[in-house]
Amino acid sequence: MNCEFYSPASIDEAVAMMKDGCAYFAGGTETEHLNSRVEASAFILLRGVAGLTGIEASGEDVRIGSMVTFTRALKAPGIPEYFREALHFCGSLQKRNMATIGGNIASWRCDSYLIPTLLAAGAQVELADETGRCTMPLEEYGQKRDSLKKALITAVILPSEASGVKVLSKRYANTVESHAYLTIAMGKKEDAFRIGLAIKGSGIFTPDITNWGVSWKMADVKDDMFGSEAYKRYLTGTTLDDMYEKLSGEGGDQV
């Protein structure tokens, strides 16, 4: 890698260093691998930036700093079980030790380990950029990603089990180490349902539960080496039906 590295100590310093051609560097698992899609002439190293590694569970929310690794989150007390399940979707121990929660969200991959579950849970992201700091739903972050390319994700906030949220997630892949061709999650809080889908080669989708069939029909789902469009649509439909049935069960007992 022939480029410059900057080493800020604080969130404000990191944000001030972000310029055209720069990218943040967290665990480096996405940035450093062969044929990485991350192109930059300078990297802003997030390791060592104060305020990005806390995990705070308070009442109905859990706030996880963006530099928390998968391994650390898996070992921490207070992490909701539904999120632990998604963290386990990353089967490689080496990757778990390096990969960060913020890096996973920022990558917004179509085979994402975490995003479907976080969307289904109604998670929020905390952001910092030259305009200041804000918190927004992850779904909104996904829609505005083009204009938020320079934003630093400082934390993700997810509802704890004490909030009454229930989330089911399912990952379809040939092996635990293979890329997922479908990752599907559905969450329920009170009477509201949310869906998060990651479809390899197609993208991330958040179809509305009330007319999900309509929005789903418009989604661009491709035939590829992982399966035909018809197969992926069938699998998604039956998985969502099953999740809906389980989450709608009397008092959620079946979940």
Ligand X SMILES: Cc1cc2nc3c(=O)[nH]c(=O)nc-3n(C[C@H](O)[C@H](O)[C@H](O)COP(=O)(O)OP(=O)(O)OC[C@H]3O[C@@H](n4cnc5c(N)ncnc54)[C@H](O)[C@@H]3O)c2cc1C
- What residue ranges bind ligand X (CB under 6 A)? 23-31, 33, 38, 46, 66, 95, 98-100, 102-104, 106-107, 109, 111-113, 152-153, 179-180
Q: Compare residues 146 and 253 and give the one whose CB is closer to ligand X.
A: 146
Q: Compare residues 24 and 193 and give the one whose CB is closer to ligand X.
A: 24
- In angstroms, the CA 196 to CA 207 distance is 7
Q: Cβ of residue 81: shortest distance to ligand X, in angstroms?
A: 20
Instruction: Count other Cβ atoms within 10 Å, centred on residue 56.
Output: 12
Q: Compare residues 126 and 212 and give the one whose CB is closer to ligand X.
A: 126
CB-based closest residue to ligand X = 103
Q: Compare residues 98 and 235 and give the one whose CB is closer to ligand X.
A: 98
Q: Cβ of residue 164: shortest distance to ligand X, in angstroms?
A: 28
Reading the block at residue 46, the tokens are: 């997030």
Q: Cβ of residue 190: shortest distance to ligand X, in angstroms?
A: 29
Closest CA to 69 of 45, 37, 93: 93
Within 46-201, residue ranges assigned H as helices are 70-75, 81-87, 93-98, 101-107, 115-121, 138-143
Q: Compare residues 66 and 239 and give the one whose CB is closer to ligand X.
A: 66
Q: Cβ of residue 157: shortest distance to ligand X, in angstroms?
A: 14
Q: Cβ of residue 245: shortest distance to ligand X, in angstroms?
A: 28
* Bridging pattern class, strands 152-159 and 166-172: unpaired
Angle CA 198–201–206, to nearest 5: 30
Reading the block at residue 71, the tokens are: 């391994």
Q: Compare residues 153 and 167 and give the one whose CB is closer to ligand X.
A: 153
- Euclidean distance between the first and the last CA atom of the chain, given in angstroms as a whole number: 47
What's the Cα-to-Cα distance from 87 to each of 13, 71, 77, 101, 232, rounded to whole Å? 30, 8, 14, 9, 23
Q: Cβ of residue 40: shortest distance to ligand X, in angstroms?
A: 7
